[in-house]
Amino acid sequence: MVVEFALVMPLLIFILLGTITAGLALNGDLQLIHSTKDAARYGETMPENQAFASGTWVTNIQSVVVSRFGGNPTASDVCVALVAGTTPLPSSPDYTTDSGGGACFDDSGAGISDTRVQVSASLAATIETGLFTIDLTLSNETVSMHESNG
């Protein structure tokens, strides 16, 4: 009985470790989904000309996602843009964190032309079993209509 247990125990540990780390990755994905939705909701209610003690319109929305994770993902992993038109274009370069000055992602397939807030974020995750490692990139894109649409 002890010999059988000694043979099966490593396999059980690998399965347990894989299950735990997969659960942590799933939890990270759910947190990413909720944080981008929270940031988009925050952005939809914030007037474009809102004054802040520090930062800009987009950096304050970006901080909602970053603060929910305690700094991981970082601000560079989060894109925020206030866009309009069926081909999404930012209201101005001041209303996007995209390095190219454009929309965070292409939502033109939805056929929406109203002003909307785009929030996208990505997060690295790992599933570790003891035998092998799977590196994942979790990502989410969220759109919310801006209140300026009336």
d(CA 93, CA 102): 8
Residue 32: what pLDDT?
Answer: 94
pLDDT above 80 (res 148): no
pLDDT above 80 (res 149): no
From first CA to last CA, the distance across the chain in angstroms is: 72
Percent of the chain predicted with pLDDT > 90:
68
What does the DSSP assignment read for 75-125?
A: GGGEEEEEEETTTTEESSGGGB--TTSS-SS--GGG---S-EEEEEEEEEE
More confident: 70 or 31? 31
Q: What is the pLDDT of residues 57-108, one digit of tens each?
A: 999 999 999 998 876 889 999 999 999 998 999 988 889 999 899 999 999 8
Residue 137: what pLDDT?
Answer: 96
Q: What is the CA radius of gyration of the chain?
A: 20
- Closest-CA residue to 65 (of 103, 26, 36): 36
Residue 80: what pLDDT?
Answer: 96
Q: What is the pLDDT of residues 107-137, one digit of tens each?
A: 988 888 899 999 999 999 999 988 999 999 9
Residue 150: what pLDDT?
Answer: 57
In the chain, domain spans: 2-149
What counts of helices (H) and strands (E) characterise the chain?
2, 4
